[in-house]
């Protein structure tokens, strides 16, 4: 894979603006691991190698066991490995990320609203939206994952 464009250098103002949203999410009160799990799941859905690598590494640094990390994409089948909040966040992330297919049905909104209050759900949706945007940048411009860079001689 060859990087097409380094958008961090060609559009530093845009990247800084996205960074402001990222900073807001970090201080929003949502649990860090929950947000990272959502970022990972969104990146799995979108097939973003750069973000998959980055968020997997981030979750490992935060102490998430490999068994849990390996089951993020099939979280529905992982029983109690994921908390109620994590399961609700992952379900919401999936329906919002696939908005063109799902239309984000009322039943999904009601399920998420049962677990998250209004501010949390708005912030979670902003985090999901931000990761979708980051995925589109990284995929479009072929951002190289750290694992690939570190494997080069």
Nearest to 39 by CA among 29, 27, 53: 53
On whether residue 40 sits in a domain, the answer given is: yes
Full-model pTM = 0.93
On whether residue 55 sits in a domain, the answer given is: yes
Residue 134 has pLDDT above 80, yes or no: yes
Please say whether the beta carbons of 51 and 97 come within 8 A: no
> How far is CA 100 from its chain centroid?
18
On whether residue 5 sits in a domain, the answer given is: no
Residue 115 neighbours by CB distance under 10 Å: 18
Both tokens of residue 94? 């999936």
pLDDT in tens, 43-98: 999 999 999 999 999 999 999 999 999 999 999 999 999 999 999 999 999 999 99
66 is in which domain, residue-wise? 11-143
Nearest to 59 by CA among 78, 87, 31: 31
Q: Is 72 exposed, middle or buried (0-12, 13-18, 19+ CB in 10 A)?
A: buried
Residue 1 has pLDDT above 80, yes or no: no
* Percent with pLDDT over 70 in the chain: 98
On whether residue 148 sits in a domain, the answer given is: no
The domain tally of the chain equals 1
pLDDT at residue 153 in the model: 65
On whether residue 49 sits in a domain, the answer given is: yes
């Amino acid at each position: 894979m060859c990087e097409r464009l380094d958008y961090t250098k060609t559009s530093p103002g845009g990247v800084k603006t996205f960074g402001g949203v990222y900073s807001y999410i970090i201080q929003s009160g949502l649990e860090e691991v929950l947000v990272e799990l959502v970022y990972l799941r969104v990146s799995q859905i979108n097939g973003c190698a750069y973000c998959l690598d980055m968020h997997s590494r981030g979750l490992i640094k935060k102490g998430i066991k490999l068994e849990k990390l390996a089951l993020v994409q099939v979280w529905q089948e992982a029983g109690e490995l994921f908390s109620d909040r994590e399961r609700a966040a992952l379900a919401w992330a999936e329906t919002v990320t696939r908005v063109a297919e799902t239309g984000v049905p009322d039943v999904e909104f009601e399920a998420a609203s049962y677990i998250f209050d209004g501010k949390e759900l708005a912030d979670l949706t902003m985090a999901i939206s931000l990761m979708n945007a980051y995925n589109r940048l990284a995929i479009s411009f072929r951002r190289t994952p750290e694992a690939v860079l570190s494997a080069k001689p």
